Amino acid sequence: MSISKTQKQKTQEHKKSSKRSWKKRILVWGVKLFALGLLMFVILFSLVYVGTFGQLPDSKTLINIKEPVATEVYSKDNKLLGRFYTQNRSTIKFKDISPNLINALVATEDVRFYEHRGIDELALLRVVFKTFFMVDRSSGGGSTLSQQVAKNIFGRKNYGPLTIPVSKIRESIIAYRLEKLYSKDEILTLYLNTVPFGENTFGIETAAKRFFSVSPSKLTIPQAATLVGMLKANNYYNPRTNPERSLQRRNTVIHQMAKYRFISNEDAEKFSRAPLGVKYNYLVYNTGLGAYFRELIRPQLEEWCEKNVKEDGSPYNLYTDGLKIITTIDSRMQRYAEMSVQERMRELQAT
């Protein structure tokens, strides 16, 4: 009995020892793997920082950030007739943006925006680790709004299997530099002026007028939540072409606002029951009032741009410099004239 008991004890002790040994091995391998990942991250970070994957923008470049802005053509009574553009974009100032939009954006995209320095370090390490050790090239996410500004303005290049980690590191460095040069409100303004909303629409002013026919300062909470919801996937959550998906995504944004106490739970329930209320306004250069007139003045405007220069000595560009063109057309008279022509054309075509 004594011998049997001793053998049993030895067997149990051996099992415990083996278990501890495996735990120790796993811990050691975990530490080694973490150290290796950290070393690879430091090496990759250093290579990106010194410009191995392309020169990073310096402070002068970042201070003088300028995106293509559409030229707008107005009637003499200050009604927008149309635009000339390569990208349908216009810019606004922070004071002209509804707080509803800012709250929806921060609650959904970067709830710690006002606390960090432009970088979410843990999210950045996670992306690099998953890319290297889990071979997951789709391991995006974790980008702050400042990093998204860097992505929107400077874009991404293809670096093969290193595309995601290199891009994330580049955007993190640029974001950190942006945070040193711009205030938080200025970064939010940069973001909202550069972010794409699909349908060749860039910037919140163009998007607000396109989908709801209002200025950004007038956006309601449901409208703001709809536009912020589009940022996850422009076409998939387009309120015009995919209203059901857009409504679901909008309500997700609204509940995010309630979760982080930008609005009450009661208001979130109320706003979630509201219809999308899309009021679509597809205004492009060759439609709308005075389309033929705008085509008539286009060559004259291009000629003027070639002969006139900006402060830096370069000529103006009709499609990217955000010019404001005031014409002699009265929008009301033009509308009546075009309605008369359409009515008379129907009569003539019927005969």
Question: Are 224 and 214 spatial neighbours (Cβ–Cβ below 8 Å)?
Answer: no
Round to whole Å and give the CA distance between 179 and 305. 35
| Distant-in-sequence, close-in-space partners of 73: CB < 8 Å, separation ≥ 6 | 80, 81, 82, 83, 84, 290, 294, 297, 325, 327
- Sign, CA dihedral 298-303-304-306, equals positive
**Degrees, nearest 5: CA angle 233-133-139:** 5
What is the gyration radius of the CA atoms in the chain, in angstroms?
28
Length of the chain: 351
The pLDDT value given to residue 128: 59
Q: What letter would DSSP give residue 84?
A: E
Tens place of pLDDT for every residue, the chain, 351 residues? 454 556 666 566 656 666 667 777 788 887 888 788 788 888 998 999 998 888 898 888 888 887 788 899 999 999 888 888 877 777 899 999 999 999 999 999 999 999 998 987 776 666 656 655 555 544 445 689 999 999 988 888 888 888 888 998 999 999 999 999 999 999 999 999 989 998 888 899 999 999 999 999 999 999 999 999 999 999 999 999 999 999 999 999 999 999 999 999 999 999 999 999 999 987 655 566 888 888 889 999 999 999 998 887 889 999 888 899 999 999 899 888 888 888 888 877 776
**pTM exceeds 0.85:** no
Sequence letter at residue 55: Q
Round to whole Å and give the CA distance between 338 and 230. 35
Round to whole Å and give the CA distance between 29 and 37. 12
Q: Which two tokens stand for residue 122?
A: 């843990």
The pLDDT value given to residue 139: 46
The pLDDT value given to residue 1: 47
The pLDDT value given to residue 19: 61
The pLDDT value given to residue 253: 98
The pLDDT value given to residue 324: 94
Q: What letter would DSSP give residue 309?
A: B
The pLDDT value given to residue 12: 63
Reported as type and span, the H/E element at residue 325 is strand 324-326
What are the DSSP calls for 302-320, one per residue? HHHHHH-B-TTSPBP-TTT
Neighbours of 299 (CB within 10 A): 9
